[in-house]
Amino acid sequence: MLGGIKTSYKAYWNSQDEYKKFWGQRKSKPLNQKKSKQKRPWILLVVFLCIAATVAAWTLWEKDDLGHWPWEDTAIGSGSIADASPEKIPAYNGDSVIELNGGKPCFSAEDLLTITGENYSELDRLGRCGTAVVMLDKTMMPVEQRGAIGNIKPTGWVQKKYPGIVDSEPPYLYNRSHLIAYSMTGQNENELNLITGTRYMNATTMLSYEKQILRYLDNSDNHVLYRVSPYFKGSEKLARGVELEAYSVEDNGEGICFHVFLYNVQPGIEIDYATGESRINQTM
């Protein structure tokens, strides 16, 4: 009887081995083959959805008010065109003022959040001023009269009178031009903030933009981020002009938003920017 039980037990486990072997083969081969066939449609679907999402983002997203795309990394800050890409500033063609970047400043979102107070560049190896950037508010505006600045002689300072041509008394061609106006911050006798500018640029074109900012600050508790970048071509001593960027922060540029380049010119006068020398323009 025991022999019969042993024979039956052995036959049972042999049958189980065959069963496991049979179903193991079914699971390992046919089922895996079926699964591999099902992967391809899912992969194609994922690829299609990614492409569709990219196309939709490119088509529907628009740049923000400062000209940045939503995916653009603005955390690295930004620079003025005069500093980063001076070749984009066209040569003077008779217009004393031109717009840059569609009139929109090149500030990044990070600039609006992190720039505070007054910031002036050190003089370069030729003694020339660099970019100045300030976060303005009405509390910075001075109440006392401006002091003398006659002891500052910025690069390109080759002064000359032009009676009947320069509209000032005395009719000096050049002014000591503040990058950031004294009326905004009270900065006066600061060589990092003074360049040689024509009377026309300083008292006509530049003053009109400064007045816009001052009027805004007078009537608001908001801030204005303001950057002025002189543009010196090569090793020239006299700036070809200044780049102005301004943006009112709290109202997202509704009050103040401009980006312009002002040419350092004087109607009727020919200027040598390499030296600062000048003469009457005989061709006019």
Q: CA dist 18 to 4, 74, 106, Å? A: 21, 67, 77
Contact 236, 271 (CB under 8 A): no
Closest CA to 104 of 136, 134, 68, 62: 68
pLDDT greater than 90 at residue 127: yes
Range from 28-32, 36-40, 258-262 that averages highest in pLDDT: 258-262
Largest Cα–Cα distance of the chain, in whole Å? 138
Give the per-residue SS3 of the chain. CHHHHHHHHHHHHHHHHHHHHHHHHHHHCHHHHHHHHHHHHHHHHHHHHHHHHHHHHHHHCCCCCCCCCCCCCCCCCCCCHHHHCHHHCCCCCCCCEEECHHHCCCCCHHHHHHCCCEEECCCCCCCCCCCEEEEECHHHCCCCCCCCCCCCCCCCCCCCECCCCCCCCCCECEEEEECCCHHHHCCCCCHHHEEEEEHHHHHHHHHHHHHHHHHHHHCCCCCEEEEEEEECCCCCCCCCEEEEEEEECCCCCCCCEEEEEEECCCCCEEECCCCCCEEECCCC
pLDDT greater than 50 at residue 217: yes
pLDDT at 76: 32
The whole-number average pLDDT for the span 109-133 is: 97
pLDDT at 255: 98
Q: What whole-number distance in Å separates Cα of residue 149 and Cα of residue 154? A: 11
Mean pLDDT for all residues in the chain: 83
Q: Give 38-85 pLDDT, tens digit per residue.
A: 556 667 666 667 565 554 444 334 444 444 433 333 333 469 999 999
Q: Give 227-246 pLDDT, tens digit per residue.
A: 999 999 999 999 999 999 99
Global pTM reads 0.74
pLDDT at 145: 87
pLDDT at 66: 44
Q: What whole-number distance in Å separates Cα of residue 16 and Cα of residue 12? A: 6
Q: Give 164-188 pLDDT, tens digit per residue.
A: 999 999 999 999 999 999 999 999 9
pLDDT at 142: 95
The whole-number average pLDDT for the span 120-131 is: 98
Percent of the chain with pLDDT strictly greater than 70: 72
Q: Give 187-207 pLDDT, tens digit per residue.
A: 999 999 999 999 999 999 999
